[in-house]
Amino acid sequence: MDRFRGLWGNVSGKLGLGFCLAGFVAIFLGWNGAASYDRVPAQFPWLISGGVTGLALVFIGGALLIVENNRRDRAILMALLEEVRAALEHAPATPAASNGFARPTQAVAAIGADMVIAGTSSYHDQGCRLVADRPDLDPISLDEAEERDLTACRICNPGRTATRKTAKKSSSKARAKSRR
């Protein structure tokens, strides 16, 4: 049975081209036969026999070509899937918790209650999602974050209330003006 399928797969494309060619010949013969008569009622048998038969043959040939191309594409796809399967079988095992795309998260050391994570322009609570996978950032005290003039993260809103921070900034600006 497999031998027959392989033979049909090789022949179906050639057979489809043959059907299309025969259809075009039938259409030509129908047109040529109809052109030899001046009266329209005498042309109908040629048009019907040549035209309809030719269109049917072209349709069948086109269908055979489509089926043959689908079989060829499916064979190529199956070969590629087999390569992927073989590559996955020989790939190193990944941890069960990982989906293969995300980096494993690193454990964050517990920091004190008055400590925050310093970013480049703001400071964050240790559970903030913006600094979750950033081991390069250092924990600092809340007072040091305010001395560096870092702003509180708008997402996690760490540390003291914004009113104290605003009051401290306004007093530091007043001191700067008085020094002038």
What CA–CA distance (Å, rounded) separates 156 from 111? 16
* Higher-confidence position of 108 and 125: 125
Residue 14 within any structural domain of the chain: yes
Whether this model's pTM surpasses 0.85: no
Specify burial of residue 164 (Cβ count, 10 A radius: 0-12, 13-18, 19+).
exposed
Over 90: is that where the pLDDT of 94 sits?
A: no
What is the band of 126 on the pLDDT scale with cuts at 50, 70, 90? Answer: confident
Residue 32 within any structural domain of the chain: yes
Residue 104 within any structural domain of the chain: no
What CA–CA distance (Å, rounded) separates 102 from 33? 72
Which pLDDT belongs to residue 177? Answer: 56
* Higher-confidence position of 149 and 78: 78
Same domain, 80 and 119: no
Same domain, 85 and 7: yes
Residue 157, by phi and psi: left (phi above 0), alpha (psi -120 to 50) or beta? left
- The answer to which of 6-10, 48-52, 63-67, 153-157 has the lowest mean pLDDT is 6-10
Which pLDDT belongs to residue 79? Answer: 94
Which pLDDT belongs to residue 8? Answer: 60
Nearest to 131 by CA among 144, 117, 110: 117
Task: Please name the residues in contact with 49: beta carbons below 8 A apart, sequence gap of 6 or more.
Answer: 30
What is the band of 106 on the pLDDT scale with cuts at 50, 70, 90? Answer: very low
Task: For tokens 């399928």, name the residue.
Answer: 5
Q: Which domain holds residue 142?
A: 115-168
Over 80: is that where the pLDDT of 174 sits?
A: no
Same domain, 68 and 138: no
Mean pLDDT of the chain: 77
Task: For tokens 């191309």, name the residue.
Answer: 69
Residue 162 within any structural domain of the chain: yes
> In angstroms, how far is CA 6 from the centroid of its own chain?
35
Same domain, 77 and 128: no
